Amino acid sequence: MTDPADAVSIVLVTYNREKALPRTIESILAQSYPHFELLICDDASTDGTGDVCERYAATDARVRYIRNPRNLGMPANLNRGIRLCKHELIATLHDGDIYAATLIEKWRAALLRYPSAGFVFNRYIHLSPDEKTEATTWGYPEFISGSDFLERIVFPDRDVEFPVWGTVMARRSVYLEMNLFDERFGFWADIDMWCRIAERYDIAHVPEPLIRLPSRAALPHLFHERMFTAHAMFFRIHWKARTRHYSGRPWQLASSLSFMCWNFVSIRTVKLARRIKKRYLVKG
């Protein structure tokens, strides 16, 4: 019998993924580290997602199916799952993604190796629509101080992107210390969370592509947000992160905010121009 102290919790958030969900769940249940509880948090799906989840819960005692009575949105759904977890190490996963069999084992090992790390992430593989070609993200050191993570990886990024997706393993105590995910940021709440954790903790990284991400053509977003709203949300999160981090250092703060504003204006202007061209110009 496994000591509960050795087990981990996995929170899988899902909404209307009846067709994609089985492959995701199968990749989780096939993990090389078998000592976990899997909480599948269904955000009031209207398709057959519930039936899929109930089938797995009936055949594997590690699976707990949790259905919200109404749609809460991703961060609130995730927060509910975290509150219900039994164990200190919590992996947060998303429906549709495909996980390597060693993911939980390697995430857990990294957090045990680096006790000062608030969370661990890894490299990702972006799949093409036909899943025949792949693009792999860049790797990072296995251990990064929270300050270096922000100052050398997040803040200097000229594409104003973010190196960590919503799939990580973090400590439950850290999540609670941060008062969980800020639901005001909607689908982008994870970016705010990783920045806040980096202010107080170091970051661990597994430099292997352990998660395959389907293309948006094969697995489109189930939420719709105006481009300006999304950009404003990113801007607000980055602004708050820089203001917190450089508090008491006015020259560094001014430099960082100026760089960020220039990036947002230039990059978003180019993207907007491309969208306008694609939508309104007719190819000859």
Instruction: Give the tens place of pLDDT for each residue, 201-227.
Output: 999 999 999 999 988 777 766 555 565
Q: Are 68 and 44 in contact (CB under 8 A)?
A: yes
**160 Cβ contact partners less than 8 Å away, ≥ 6 residues apart:** 234, 238, 260, 263, 264, 267
Q: Does residue 267 or residue 52 have the better pLDDT?
A: 52
**114 Cβ contact partners less than 8 Å away, ≥ 6 residues apart:** 120, 142, 143, 202, 204
Element (H, E) at 225: none
For residues 33 and 2, what is the distance between their CA atoms, to the nearest angstrom? 12
Which tokens in the block code for residue 110?
Answer: 């990294």
Average pLDDT, integer, range 232-253: 86
pTM for this predicted structure: 0.88
Q: Does residue 278 or residue 190 have the better pLDDT?
A: 190
Does residue 30 carry a pLDDT above 80?
yes
Instruction: Give the tens place of pLDDT for each residue, 244-261.
Output: 988 888 888 888 778 778
∠ Cα 24 26 31 (to 5°) = 105
Strand partners, 36: 8
Average pLDDT, integer, range 191-210: 97
Q: Are strands 143-144 and 36-42 parallel, antiparallel or unpaired?
A: unpaired
For 161, list phi and psi in degrees, rounded to 5.
Answer: -100, -170
For residues 69 and 108, what is the distance between their CA atoms, to the nearest angstrom? 32
Confidence of residue 63 (pLDDT cuts 50, 70, 90): very high
Delineate the domains of the chain, giving CATH numbers in brackets: 4-222 (3.90.550.10)
For residues 272 and 253, what is the distance between their CA atoms, to the nearest angstrom? 28
> In angstroms, what is the C-alpha Rg of the chain?
19
Does residue 284 carry a pLDDT above 90?
no
Which tokens in the block code for residue 220?
Answer: 């489109």
Say which range, 26-40, 78-92, 244-258, has the weakest mean pLDDT: 244-258
3-state secondary structure 254-279: HHHHHHHHHHHHHHHHHHHHHHHHHH
Q: What's CA 271's distance to the chain center, in Å?
A: 23
Does residue 267 carry a pLDDT above 60?
no
Average pLDDT, integer, range 168-188: 96
Strand partners, 127: 134
Which tokens in the block code for residue 134?
Answer: 């792949």
